[in-house]
Structure 1
Amino acid sequence: MLSTRFLALALVALAAILAGSDVEAKKHNANCKAGLPWGADNRWASKMAKGCVKWIHHWENAVVPQVEGKLDYVPMYWGPKKAGKWNDRKKWINKHKPNYILAQNEPDVPGQANLSPKQAASEWIKELRHYQKKGIKISSPQIVYDIKWMDSFMKHLKQHGAKPDFMAVHWYGSWKDTAKLKKYIKRVHKRYNLPVWVSEYGVTQKSHGSQSQVSHFHSKVDRWMDSQPYVHRYAAFGCYAYGNAPDSFGAQQNAFFSKGGKLRNSAYSYMYGASGSKKHGKRDATATANIEAHAARSPGAHRHHNKRVHSLAQAIELQARNTTLDPHEDGEALDPLKSYINGWEVTPEEAEEYFNHDDEEDDKENANADDAEHDDEISRLRDQALDEADEKEDELEKIDEVKTDDDDDDN
């Protein structure tokens, strides 16, 4: 058991150290990109309109009333199959003039918008070009994997004298596939030289990831996208309750909510930039306000607090060694009497909920998790398309080199 004296000293150091780490977290999240691809109960939405979550879109429906004015709503032209829904969206667009509109939803997938590149380009011109002329930024169609489809679309759109303002893509694959996700996004940016939105992404059920594996995947790719200046926005597939996913394709472990709308650890990680696991997620975030009272009135909080203080001793030693560390180098000191979660100021009630939060699903490892190679067809097709695109670019570069050599010989 820690002595009262040591606890008091630790609390003083805690405020300084948390101020430094929280300032770093604030700087890391200064340009928030996270959004919500909404599909859950609208009454749950306000629970996630916090931290680094700044925007929202819906596959076909209007703005979610509970977060109107809190999150930037981006309407979507799903495709001609949902023309009635789009007519309703146009009324809202004409009245509010949003900053952005997302184009067709997964036109390269038969079960979704399912359009040929030529059809999609024609629809883009018909339904979206006039909004672009009014100053609204319009995305490319939101493909899932087919780069060749997008190449053809861009050629058809160019024939109309148009191009999108930014590329919007979806990505699904295994929890092991962080490198593949990065390659896909890098390829899209390099190929079209436009900002990229990853407007939907997640881990597939077929990859059989445990909760910790799926959470680690999201934490890793979110931080990577935060660090890429050309990735302007992203929206994780997770707006549903665990056990009630929209389909069998996406893994349950992506879910932001438990049954009844309670926030899961994955939601807190997404909002506040925690590491996304039980070991290094919410345990690393501590309310700085009234922490002794916190520990006294709650056995759960007391347990978490003791874990924090044990690690604090090491942090104090590290800080003593690093004399160049300036926790307020950006000039913004944090108030030790307020509550923060990973650098984000929250209400005492939110800190209490977060501090004592427990997630039954996050404590259960998926029994199906193993190291077997998954047979995700979408991932296979995407890899094939990327490889073919690489080969085509290599061939074009060789042709250019031959032409250059011929020109030199002529001279």
Structure 2
Amino acid sequence: MSVARALIFFTLLSLAKGALAFDGKICFTSAFPKDTAQASSELAQPTSLAPSRLSFGALGTKRSFAYNDANLVNKFTDSKQCTKCSWAYNWDSTDNGLIRHSLDFVPMIWSPKEEHTRRWPQNADAMLLSGSTHILSFNECDRPDQCNLDAASAAAAHVEYVNKYAGRARIGSPAISNSAAAGQGLNWLELWVWTCDGLGCEYDFCVTHWYGNSVEELLKHVASVHKICRGIVITQSTTIS
């Protein structure tokens, strides 16, 4: 992520009694172009699920910042734009100068490579002590250009590096892409969840990304993820015109 960007994305995806509904909008500022933005949102869950799987705290507002330049977010918070935005993440384990105000920063380990794991315990602990209530596991292990790790190895690494935070924060699974290639996307997530059932991975919700320009295809993807994992958070997507 080399392009400086920040985004406020608000989309409500409701899933109840087999029906999907979509209603949302994207808010941009002149600080960055539309085509460089990433997206963050959350899926509301059926009321039949256990309360522990439904309570996402700050993530439940469905408005967030995904950024790699904290100054862009600070411009929003300092000027009180999008006062209902309540959480932020930056693909890193520390907030890198984010002025929190009321934002809940969500640290991510990104991958189990040494360059990330050597910083993870200290940074994650510091972020939790500073008020963070959620953490994210790895980033697109299903893609060779991202975390690039098979599901079984990712499950074992999740247990090693992330499980220890259960009870201190709500934990997100490794994020998947919506790739339809064999062994990627939904296939990868299915195997990760299956492996985790045996290893005892601690996680409260699954994280997915989606890239495309069709609302219908987005909803199909979300419904497919929901069949695998009950709690869902979308932390990256393309914009939909």
TM-score range (shorter-chain normalised) is: 0.5 to 0.7
Does the Cα contact within 8 Å between 1:37 and 1:58 map onto a contact in 2?
Answer: yes
Does the Cα contact within 8 Å between 2:139 and 2:146 map onto a contact in 1?
Answer: yes
Residue 80 of structure 1 is matched in structure 2 by: 112
Matched, 1:58 2:90: yes
Which has the greater radius of gyration?
1
Residue 206 of structure 2 is matched in structure 1 by: 167
Output the CA distance in 2 between the equivalents of 1:55 and 1:47. 15
Output the CA distance in 1 between the equivalents of 2:120 and 2:177. 21
Output the CA distance in 2 between the equivalents of 1:138 and 1:32. 17
Residue 231 of structure 2 is matched in structure 1 by: 195
1:160 offset after TM fit, Å? 1.5
Residue 44 of structure 1 is matched in structure 2 by: 72
**Matches for 1:1-400 after TM superposition, within 5 Å:** 32-40=61-69, 42-49=70-77, 50-51=81-82, 52-81=84-113, 82-93=116-127, 95-96=129-130, 98-132=132-166, 134-145=167-178, 146-173=185-212, 175=213, 177-192=214-229, 194-203=230-239, 214=240, 217=241
1:185 offset after TM fit, Å? 0.9
1:96 offset after TM fit, Å? 3.4
For structure 1, the 5+ residue unaligned runs are 1-30, 204-213, 218-411
Q: Go from structure 1 to structure 2 and tell me whether the alpha carbon gap of 1:144 and 1:126 turns closer, same or farther (over 3 Å shift).
A: same
1:131 offset after TM fit, Å? 0.7
Output the CA distance in 2 between the equivalents of 1:196 and 1:122. 21
Output the CA distance in 1 between the equivalents of 2:98 and 2:189. 35
Output the CA distance in 2 between the equivalents of 1:152 and 1:61. 26
1:85 offset after TM fit, Å? 3.7
Q: What are the superposed Cα offsets for residues 242-279 of structure 1, whole Å, 9 maximum, x if unpaired? A: xxxxxxxxxxxxxxxxxxxxxxxxxxxxxxxxxxxxxx
Output the CA distance in 1 between the equivalents of 2:160 and 2:131. 18
Does the Cα contact within 8 Å between 2:158 and 2:201 map onto a contact in 1?
Answer: no
Output the CA distance in 2 between the equivalents of 1:130 and 1:75. 14
Does the Cα contact within 8 Å between 1:168 and 1:196 map onto a contact in 2?
Answer: yes
**TM-score between the two structures when normalised by the length of structure 2:** 0.64
1:93 offset after TM fit, Å? 3.9
Output the CA distance in 2 between the equivalents of 1:127 and 1:79. 10
Identity of aligned residues (%): 25
Q: What are the superposed Cα offsets for residues 64-85 of structure 1, whole Å, 9 maximum, x if unpaired? A: 4342233110111111222234
Which amino acid in the other structure matches residue 62 of structure 1?
T
Higher strand share: 2
Q: Go from structure 1 to structure 2 and tell me whether the alpha carbon gap of 1:118 and 1:66 turns closer, same or farther (over 3 Å shift).
A: closer
Output the CA distance in 2 between the equivalents of 1:89 and 1:163. 19
SS at 1:69 equivalent: coil
RMSD (Å) for aligned C-alpha atoms: 2.0
Which amino acid in the other structure matches residue 196 of structure 1?
I
Q: Go from structure 1 to structure 2 and tell me whether the alpha carbon gap of 1:183 and 1:113 turns closer, same or farther (over 3 Å shift).
A: same
Does the Cα contact within 8 Å between 1:97 and 1:136 map onto a contact in 2?
Answer: no
Which amino acid in the other structure matches residue 161 of structure 1?
G
Which amino acid in the other structure matches residue 126 of structure 1?
E
Does the Cα contact within 8 Å between 1:60 and 1:85 map onto a contact in 2?
Answer: no
Output the CA distance in 1 between the equivalents of 2:226 and 2:190. 13
Does the Cα contact within 8 Å between 1:60 and 1:86 map onto a contact in 2?
Answer: no
For structure 2, the 5+ residue unaligned runs are 1-59, 179-184
Q: How many pairs were matched up?
A: 170
Which amino acid in the other structure matches residue 136 of structure 1?
A
Output the CA distance in 1 between the equivalents of 2:194 and 2:126. 31
Q: What are the superposed Cα offsets for residues 213-240 of structure 1, whole Å, 9 maximum, x if unpaired? A: x5xx3xxxxxxxxxxxxxxxxxxxxxxx
